[in-house]
Structure formats: structure tokens, C-alpha cells
């Protein structure tokens, strides 16, 4: 601050000098703050040994990638530095995906990737898979054994499932109107009576879920008996009239306010009229 003991005629000059001084101080303070921020934001000058360490790491990217101190954010930065472009080409609706990586420096690499699909029909191996299942089924292997063989042969099912199970094979066969191996007693003559079907076979003939027909059997909507010689499996009696009724029951659409099934469709025909 300038002295206030100046003569009156010099006070105007003093005020102008004081104003210029204060502006110069503010400018200096602003420049000092900007320099401080620059120093904080600017990377620290690396020591020679640090530069040597970075050079060594640049020649061992896998080691850098898997190093315990490397975070997920660090790996993202590594990918951004190394890759210029990624091209993904899905082969139709199949699980096969071709990925092309354009690396920094001009190198290019191509890779085959397997993606998850929702249906068996989307699998590029579907025809081969069915052929393999049919061959294993033809030699009498159970669904569980077929599943084990497919897993050994590196077949993969859809829907992010990594391994086949016996139940999956049974359902796949059922969709195709087939079944897995069955006990020898089920195929022996005389086990089934006239117009009798194994529950699984009748469900397949009516193109309906096994569980639904089993529920009808428990409700008493079909004539059934347990065949002890085949391990207690259920045999369902159904002549032509019953097959017609069950087909209508299967096709019936329940509607409000009558959500139930008509009694005529749920009451089985008396067997003494066959």
C-alpha cells in the first residue's frame, strides 16, 4: 500500500499506481496457482530405474496383465493402448463367432469364440450331435451314458450349460418322438394288454408332456395299472374312443368363467364297453 502522506496533487497518481500494483499481484497469484495445478497434473518425472522397469514390462504384457497389483481398470487401459479395433462376426444364428483384433503397430490376429445360444437348432454341431445320439442309442446306452459320452466327445448343450445330463438327453429324444433305452421287460410280449400303452409312449403319441399325462393319471382321468414286472411303471389303457377323448382334452382351451375341463372330457370310458 502506498503512503497516504502524499501531497493532494499527487494522490490521483498514487491511486493509479496502487491499482496497477494490486492488479499485478492478482495476476502473479493467478499464474502461481496455474503453475501449481500444472505441477500437480503433470506426471512425475521418472527416474532412470523406473523407465527401465517400464521397458521390461512392455516386453512381458502377459506378466503385467496377471500381476497381482494390476487392477481391472489397469487392464482396461492396457487394452485401449494395445488394440485399435475389434471386429465381431457371428456365423448366422449359431454359437460360432469370428473375432478379428487389429493391434497397435499393424499386427492383426483372428480368433474363434463360442457364444451361448438358446436352442439346439442353433448349434452348428446339431446334425452331428443328433447322429451321435442316435448311434449311442442304437447300441442300447441309457440317457445318462449317452450324456457321459457326449461330454467326453466335447459336445456342448445350449443355454450356457456346459455339460449334458441324462435328463437333457431324455427331453431331447422326447421332442423327436423317441425315447432312451428301456428295461428289456418293457419290450417283452404279453406284458401289455390290449389297447395298453406305456405312459411315456402314450404321451408321445398324443404329442403332450409326460408330466401332464401323469397328472391326468393321478386325477383318475385315464384307466391305468402299475406293471410290477417292469419296475412298477404305469400302463395306460386307451382304445380308439379314449384316444379321441384324450386328444380333445389335450386340445381344450379353458376360458373364464369356466376354468375347468368339461366332465365329458375328463371321465374315462368304462372298460367293459370296449
Residue 243 and residue 201 share a domain: yes
Residue 269 and residue 202 share a domain: yes
Residue 224 has pLDDT above 90, yes or no: yes
Question: Last residue of some domain: 67, 85, 114?
Answer: 114
- The residue written with cell numbers 488394440 in the block is 83
- Does some domain include residue 236? yes
Bridge partners of 96? 114
Residue 211 and residue 136 share a domain: no
Residue 173 and residue 193 share a domain: no
DSSP collapsed to 3 states, the chain: CCCCCCCHHHHHHHHHHHHHHHHHHHHHHHHHHHHHHHHHHCCCCCCHHHHHHHHHHHCCHHHHHHCCCCCHHHHHHHHHHHEEEEEEEECCCCCEEEEEEEECCCCEEEEEEECCCCCHHHCCCHHHHHHHHHHHHHCCCCHHHHHHHHHHCCCCCCCCCCCCCHHHHHHHHHHCCCCCCCCHHHHCCCCCCCCEEEHHHHHHHCCCCHHHHHHHHHHCCCEEEEEHHHCCEEEEECCHHHHHHHHHHHHCCCECCECCCCHHHHCCCCHHHC
> What's this model's pTM, rounded to 2 decimal places?
0.47
Range 108-114 average pLDDT: 91
- Tell me the range of 58-72, 202-216, 238-252 where mean pLDDT is highest: 238-252
Residue 184 has pLDDT above 80, yes or no: no
Task: Quote the pLDDT of residue 4.
Answer: 52
The dihedral through the CA atoms of 121, 127, 129, 131 has a sign that is positive
Residue 187 has pLDDT above 50, yes or no: yes
Residue 183 has pLDDT above 80, yes or no: no
The pLDDT tens digits of the residues spanning 3-39 come to 456 566 677 777 778 888 888 888 888 888 888 887 7
The pLDDT tens digits of the residues spanning 225-274 come to 988 875 678 899 999 999 999 999 999 887 776 678 899 999 999 886 44
The pLDDT tens digits of the residues spanning 126-153 come to 999 999 998 888 888 888 899 999 999 9
Residue 267 and residue 208 share a domain: yes
* Phi and psi, residue 46, nearest 5°: -80, 140
More confident residue, 148 or 191: 148
Beta-carbon contacts of residue 58 (< 8 Å; ≥ 6 apart): none
- Does some domain include residue 11? no
Q: Is the peptide bond before 257 cis (omega within 30 degrees of 0)?
A: yes
Q: Rounded to whole angstroms, how far apart are CA atoms 154 and 159?
A: 16
Task: Quote the pLDDT of residue 149.
Answer: 94
User: What pLDDT band is residue 207 in, cutting at 50, 70 and 90?
Assistant: confident
- Tell me the range of 46-60, 93-107, 220-234, 250-264 where mean pLDDT is highest: 93-107
Beta-carbon contacts of residue 225 (< 8 Å; ≥ 6 apart): 234, 235, 237
Residue 208 and residue 167 share a domain: no
- Does some domain include residue 255? yes
Residue 97 and residue 169 share a domain: no
Structural domain tally of the chain?
3
Domain that holds residue 248: 189-274
- Does some domain include residue 27? no
User: What pLDDT band is residue 2 in, cutting at 50, 70 and 90?
Assistant: very low
Beta-carbon contacts of residue 262 (< 8 Å; ≥ 6 apart): 252
Residue 172 and residue 237 share a domain: no
User: What pLDDT band is residue 188 in, cutting at 50, 70 and 90?
Assistant: low
Query: Inter-axis angle of helices 126-138 and 166-175, to 10 degrees?
Result: 100
Residue 140 and residue 104 share a domain: no
Task: Quote the pLDDT of residue 236.
Answer: 93
**For 154-163, 177-186, 202-211, which range has the lowest pLDDT when averaged over its residues?**
177-186
Residue 138 and residue 126 share a domain: yes
- Does some domain include residue 38? no
Amino acid at each position: 500500500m502506498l503512503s497516504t502522506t502524499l501531497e493532494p496533487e499527487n494522490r490521483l497518481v498514487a491511486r493509479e499506481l496502487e491499482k496497477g500494483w494490486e492488479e499485478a499481484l492478482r495476476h502473479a497469484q493467478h499464474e502461481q496457482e496455474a503453475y501449481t495445478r500444472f505441477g500437480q497434473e503433470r506426471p512425475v518425472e521418472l527416474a532412470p530405474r523406473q523407465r527401465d522397469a517400464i521397458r521390461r514390462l512392455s516386453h512381458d504384457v502377459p506378466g503385467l496383465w496377471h500381476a497381482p497389483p494390476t487392477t481391472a481398470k489397469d487392464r482396461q487401459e492396457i487394452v485401449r493402448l494395445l488394440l485399435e479395433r475389434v471386429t465381431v462376426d457371428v456365423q448366422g444364428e449359431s454359437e460360432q463367432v469370428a473375432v478379428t483384433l487389429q493391434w497397435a503397430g499393424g499386427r492383426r490376429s483372428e480368433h474363434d469364440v463360442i457364444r451361448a445360444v438358446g436352442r439346439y437348432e442353433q448349434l452348428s454341431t446339431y446334425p452331428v450331435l443328433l447322429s451321435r445320439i442316435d448311434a449311442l442309442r442304437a447300441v442300447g446306452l441309457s440317457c445318462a451314458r449317452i450324456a457321459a459320452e457326449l461330454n467326453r466327445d466335447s459336445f456342448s448343450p445350449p443355454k450356457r450349460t456346459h455339460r449334458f445330463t441324462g435328463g437333457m438327453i431324455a427331453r431331447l429324444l422326447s421332442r423327436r418322438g423317441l425315447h432312451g433305452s428301456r428295461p428289456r421287460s418293457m419290450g417283452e410280449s404279453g406284458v401289455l394288454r390290449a389297447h395298453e400303452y406305456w405312459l411315456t409312449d402314450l404321451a408321445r403319441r398324443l404329442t403332450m408332456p409326460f408330466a401332464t399325462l401323469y397328472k391326468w393319471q393321478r386325477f383318475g382321468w385315464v384307466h391305468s395299472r402299475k406293471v410290477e414286472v417292469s419296475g412298477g411303471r404305469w400302463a395306460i389303457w386307451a382304445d380308439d374312443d379314449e384316444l379321441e377323448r384324450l386328444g380333445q382334452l389335450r386340445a381344450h382351451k379353458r376360458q373364464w368363467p369356466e376354468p375347468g375341463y368339461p366332465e365329458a372330457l375328463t371321465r374315462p370310458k368304462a372298460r367293459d364297453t370296449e
